């Protein structure tokens, strides 16, 4: 399920994306164009996570380290 969290009237996910402190998981999940734009702007400005040379996306990390049952 998707949850939208607001604090003092602000969209927490949007604020985190604007600052480069989160990644937008849009593949087969959330198609919010506004979130894509916030992430792209943070990436262009090399803010937050985007200041690093290489970022391992959480969904890639989980796929790589998935345990075999």
Confidence of residue 51 (pLDDT cuts 50, 70, 90): very high
What's the pTM?
0.78
The count of domains in the chain is 1
Q: In the predicted model, what is the mean pLDDT of residues 12-30? A: 86
pLDDT for 29 equals 66
pLDDT for 16 equals 94
Taking alpha carbons only, the member of 47, 29, 60, 6 closest to residue 38 is 47
Say what the pLDDT of residue 9 is.
95
pLDDT at 24 over 70: yes
What's the domain range around 49? 6-64
Residue 1 lies in a domain: no
Is 10 within the bounds of a domain?
yes
CA distance 44 to 35: 14
Q: Is the pLDDT of residue 68 over 60?
A: no
CA 53 to each of CA 23, 31, 47, 49: distance values in angstroms, whole numbers, following the listed order: 15, 26, 12, 9
Buried/exposed code over 35-64 (b: 16+ C-beta within 10 A; e: otherwise): beebbeebbeeeebbbeeeeeeeeeeeeee
């Amino acid at each position: 399920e998707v949850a939208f969290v607001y604090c003092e009237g602000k969209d927490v996910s949007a604020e985190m994306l604007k600052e480069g402190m989160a990644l937008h998981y849009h593949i087969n999940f959330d198609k919010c164009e506004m979130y894509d734009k916030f992430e792209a702007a943070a990436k262009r400005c090399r803010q937050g996570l985007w200041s690093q040379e290489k970022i391992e996306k959480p969904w890639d990390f989980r796929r790589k380290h998935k345990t075999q049952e």
